[in-house]
Amino acid sequence: MSDISSLGDLTGKRVLVRSDLNVPLDGTTITDDGRIRASVPTIQQLSDAGAKVVVTAHLGRPDGSPDPKYSLRPVAARLAELLGKPVAFATDTVGADATETVAALQDGEIAVLENVRFNDGETSKDDAVRAAFADQLAQLADAFVSDGFGVVHRKQASVYDVALRLPSAMGGLVAAEVDVLRRLTEHPERPYVVVLGGSKVSDKLGVIDNLIDKADKLLIGGGMVFTFLKAQGHEVGKSLLEADQLDTCTRYLTEAADRGVEILLPTDVVVDTAFPSGDREPQPSVVPASEIPADALGLDIGPESAAAFAAALADARTVFWNGPMGVFEVAAFADGTRAVAQALTEVSGLSVVGGGDSAAAVRQLGFDEAAFGHISTGGGASLEFLEGKELPGIAVLERD
């Protein structure tokens, strides 16, 4: 795959950059700017090279038409703060304001186009509709840099089709993500431990299928663990349960045993009689994983399990973690996730936080991001890569 150097001298050239700026907002206030910060190095590199940098990105799911609550204006303002220089903002993506804004850029200057998903051509399943929109995007630039790893698993106009129309290269963020994920799937240093959490087993089927013969240990927490516990014959009360995945969990337990892969499940859990809500104080209690009361639901792994998970990670040389161990947003149910995150900071080899809620948990719980080997910006893309799927936004850059 070509990197930015393959594009030659960029002085005065218009470079369209597909970034991932899909950050959470509370009104117009950004509550987690991690993805913006991750996008800065490539944008800065292009600016320093004298390019006229045109940033395109999405925010939320506006269904192909403008929606003020999904405007990228506050994101552009935060990007300017992080870069320490002005960032122009176009109020449309391929319309008159975008054209005028790009035309006004001087060498090294930067503009952000309005939310690319305000245009129905971005996510259209109709190749012709998507191609027509990509044509409009391509007219704004002389070259294209793909740097939004969180969207490379999508065959969308600003990710895939525009790369077919312009000299294209991979940005530093995408290159780093691909390099790390290949290290997880191609001859990982051992012991190799995979930690999976989050709410549903069904979200992780492909990852487990692809890694069960690569990992030495699988540590299972979060809401998905209760389907595994039920498959072992335990009652799980009101805990999250995917009854249609019981046979799958049984198969995984059997396969792991046959392959000599250790699957570690919690031996204790933190439960409450209701899911956390704003009008009720949490009432947590710790119970054995095999004795969850009928009126309770599991909301975190317990202290005994947290210690066991940390111990299982102590000698690891490669770790991939995707999915929190509990409802980490609530302090009463955050200790399991905190314990796993702390253990990852102490791994002497490669520790990878697989994006999404895991990355959010790391930041919310106050960890120094530099303490981890790598924090992915793309939860879904990371999972699909680890499932062995082809990612359209990567494949298009690897074509002959």
Q: Do you find a cis peptide bond into 191, omega within 30 degrees of 0? A: yes
Task: From residue 222, give the alpha-carbon distance in Å to each of 155, 227, 298, 318, 321.
Answer: 30, 10, 9, 21, 12
Q: 25: annotated binding-site residue?
A: no
- The yes-or-no answer on residue 130 being catalytic is no
Q: 393: annotated binding-site residue?
A: no
Q: 22: annotated binding-site residue?
A: yes
- The yes-or-no answer on residue 251 being catalytic is no
Q: 60: annotated binding-site residue?
A: yes
Q: 21: annotated binding-site residue?
A: yes
Report helix, strand or coil for 133.
helix
Q: 119: annotated binding-site residue?
A: no
Catalytically annotated residue among 13, 14, 18, 35? 35
| Cα–Cα distance measured from residue 335 to residue 356, given in angstroms and rounded to the nearest whole number | 19
| Cα–Cα distance measured from residue 210 to residue 4, given in angstroms and rounded to the nearest whole number | 32
Is residue 18 a contact partner of residue 39, using CB atoms and an 8 Å limit? no
Q: 374: annotated binding-site residue?
A: no
Q: 165: annotated binding-site residue?
A: no
Report helix, strand or coil for 373.
coil
| Cα–Cα distance measured from residue 228 to residue 218, given in angstroms and rounded to the nearest whole number | 12
Q: 298: annotated binding-site residue?
A: yes
172-185 vs 34-48: helix crossing angle, rounded to 10:
120
C-alpha 229: how far from chain center: 27
Is residue 390 a contact partner of residue 152, using CB atoms and an 8 Å limit? no
What DSSP assignment string belongs to 75-88? HHHHHHHHHTS--E
| Cα–Cα distance measured from residue 35 to residue 211, given in angstroms and rounded to the nearest whole number | 27
Q: 358: annotated binding-site residue?
A: yes
Catalytically annotated residue among 356, 378, 379, 393? 356
| Cα–Cα distance measured from residue 389 to residue 383, given in angstroms and rounded to the nearest whole number | 9
Q: 356: annotated binding-site residue?
A: yes
Q: 35: annotated binding-site residue?
A: yes
- The yes-or-no answer on residue 200 being catalytic is yes
Catalytically annotated residue among 200, 251, 317, 363? 200
In this structure, how many other beta carbons lie within 10 angstroms of the beta carbon of residue 326? 29
Q: 27: annotated binding-site residue?
A: no
Write out the catalytic residue numbers: 35, 200, 356, 380
Annotated binding site: 20-22, 35, 58-61, 117, 154, 204, 298, 329, 355-358
Per the annotation, binding residues for (2R)-3-phosphoglycerate are 35, 117, 154
Q: Which residues are annotated as a binding site for ATP?
A: 204, 298, 329, 355-358
Residues annotated within the binding site for substrate are 20-22, 35, 58-61, 117, 154
